[in-house]
């Protein structure tokens, strides 16, 4: 028999969202009340429950997932992206996932691997020029440009060049306009006309290049045997453009920050790629980059891009010693779970070796979820990991980042967790280091 009382928490009401105030408040409440906290909402809205314990997280994402739907805080995302996979729910979401999931299988990723390599070759030349001129590298902006170009070329293949001028696409407003406000919504939605034009041209000419857009247009749901409508394809394309580049860019930002600060980790990366004996890692070789994968995993642990997840209860559920009524909003922050001292030794320290094959066996599987978990785990996870491994291996083959001096990191916890200021990194050619 479980009590109907709410978990402990403050009496003052506050509406949680992806912003700095919520980030600070969640931290404060978890320290004060423990791993499950109730927080009244402003305006007689449903109660908010913050959870920070692997057992509760398992309940929400796995055991009780059928009694959950997307929670609050996705209004701005929906205005920007439409009803894509990130914000949709129910049977429609299940159908979209069935169609989209195969597009990130390994046989498809082998084709996009070449795009990843080509884009990194161009980036390396740019970074080498920075080094030759003695100029710092804007890691934040350049990795964002890299990730955005990769997903655009994977989506549109040969059509990408039709809307690019001097190598830059109109979609690059996402880099210049970092605020996800209504001004960006208007500008970003105006870009749908390019995607619509590509789609119409492909239908009229019966020309379907081997890219993700063609797969979205042609793939039928294996259950209903129906294809996506034009609007549904558009929504998923816009979702992929934003989601696929922001997560990768944010993570690479932190990877370069850590590699510039931790010489022993950088030495291990150099040793790993030198033993690979390849300039650009082949698709088959990427899986051999085990320590680079550990670097990525640790960066995702300390700074998960999606720092706040939410679910809404649709049917009464049991959570620990409490019963949560339908309508209750549950909030989970991977940022704080990933730093929970009860589940992570030296939780605040950068230690990529904690993700070695032997040590991962000791990690509670419900204490690490940078790509979400359960049914709604990000289908593009492998795409992002391979993309980052290729980038780190290739750049580190040729360049050595230097320590970043006097640059304290202030966080900007909005829809994605970012640093408030761009990261600038000095680097040097590795051949000069070896000599």
Is residue 337 one of the residues assigned to a domain? Answer: yes
Task: Identify the CATH number of the domain in which residue 53 sits.
Answer: 3.30.43.20
Please tell me the predicted confidence (pLDDT) of residue 1: 45
Is residue 332 one of the residues assigned to a domain? Answer: yes
54 Cβ contact list (under 8 Å, min separation 6): 337, 343, 364, 365, 366, 367
How big is the chain, counted in residues? Answer: 435
Is residue 285 one of the residues assigned to a domain? Answer: no
Is residue 172 one of the residues assigned to a domain? Answer: no
Is residue 322 one of the residues assigned to a domain? Answer: yes
Supply the range of the domain harboring residue 325.
1-74+307-352
Kindly list the averaged pLDDT for each block of 10 residues, start to end, along the chain of length 435: 76 94 97 97 93 96 91 67 80 89 85 95 98 95 95 94 78 75 79 94 96 95 92 93 91 95 96 93 95 98 95 94 95 98 96 95 95 89 96 97 75 89 93 47
> Which token pair is 32?
């004060």
Is residue 401 one of the residues assigned to a domain? Answer: no
Please tell me the predicted confidence (pLDDT) of residue 405: 63
pTM of the model: 0.94
List C-alpha distances in Å: 320 to 72, 172, 237, 362, 388. Answer: 22, 46, 39, 23, 38
Distance between CA 369 and CA 333 in Å, rounded? 10
Is residue 396 one of the residues assigned to a domain? Answer: no
Q: How many domains does the chain have?
A: 1
Distance between CA 67 and CA 312 in Å, rounded? 8
Are residues 215 and 103 in contact, defined by beta-carbon separation less than 8 angstroms? yes
Is residue 273 one of the residues assigned to a domain? Answer: no
> Which token pair is 165?
């001028």
391: closest CA among 284, 271, 286? 286
> Which token pair is 219?
């793939």
Please tell me the predicted confidence (pLDDT) of residue 77: 67
Please tell me the predicted confidence (pLDDT) of residue 345: 95
């Amino acid at each position: 028999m479980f009590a109907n009382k709410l978990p402990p928490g403050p009496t003052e009401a506050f509406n949680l969202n992806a912003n700095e105030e919520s980030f600070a408040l969640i931290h404060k409440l978890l320290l004060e009340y423990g791993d499950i906290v109730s927080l009244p909402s402003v305006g007689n809205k449903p109660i908010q429950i913050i959870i920070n314990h692997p057992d509760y997280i398992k309940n929400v994402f796995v055991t009780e997932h059928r009694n959950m739907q997307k929670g609050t805080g996705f209004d701005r995302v929906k205005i920007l992206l439409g009803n894509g996979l990130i914000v949709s729910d129910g049977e429609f979401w299940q159908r979209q996932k069935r169609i989209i999931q195969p597009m990130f299988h390994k046989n498809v990723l082998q084709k996009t691997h070449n795009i990843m390599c080509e884009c990194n070759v161009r980036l390396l030349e740019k970074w080498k020029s920075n080094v030759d001129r003695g100029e710092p590298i804007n890691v934040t902006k350049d990795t964002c440009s890299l990730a955005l170009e990769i997903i655009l070329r994977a989506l549109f293949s040969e059509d990408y060049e039709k809307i690019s001028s001097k190598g830059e696409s109109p979609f690059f407003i996402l880099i210049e306009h970092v605020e996800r406000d209504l001004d960006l919504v208007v500008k970003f939605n105006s870009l749908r006309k390019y995607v619509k034009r590509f789609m119409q041209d492909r239908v009229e000419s019966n020309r379907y290049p081997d890219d993700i857009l063609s797969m979205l247009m042609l793939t039928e749901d294996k259950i209903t045997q129906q294809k996506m409508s034009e609007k549904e394809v558009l929504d998923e394309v816009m979702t992929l453009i934003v989601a696929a580049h922001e997560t990768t860019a944010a993570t690479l930002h932190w990877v370069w920050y850590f590699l510039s600060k931790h010489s022993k980790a950088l030495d291990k990366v150099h040793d790993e790629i030198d033993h690979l004996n390849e300039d650009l890692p082949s698709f088959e070789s990427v899986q051999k980059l085990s320590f680079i994968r550990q670097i990525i995993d640790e960066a995702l642990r300390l700074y998960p891009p999606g720092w706040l997840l939410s679910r809404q209860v649709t049917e009464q559920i049991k959570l620990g010693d409490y019963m949560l009524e339908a309508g209750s909003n549950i909030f989970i922050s991977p940022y704080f779970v990933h730093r929970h001292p009860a589940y992570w030794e030296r939780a605040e320290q950068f230690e990529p070796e904690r993700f070695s094959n032997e040590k991962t066996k000791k990690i509670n599987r419900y204490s690490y979820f940078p790509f979400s978990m359960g049914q709604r785990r990000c289908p593009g996870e492998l795409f992002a990991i391979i993309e980052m491994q290729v980038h780190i291996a290739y750049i580190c083959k040729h360049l050595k980042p230097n320590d970043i001096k006097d640059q304290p990191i202030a966080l900007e916890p909005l829809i994605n967790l970012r640093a408030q200021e761009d990261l600038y990194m000095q680097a040097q050619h590795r051949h000069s280091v070896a000599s």
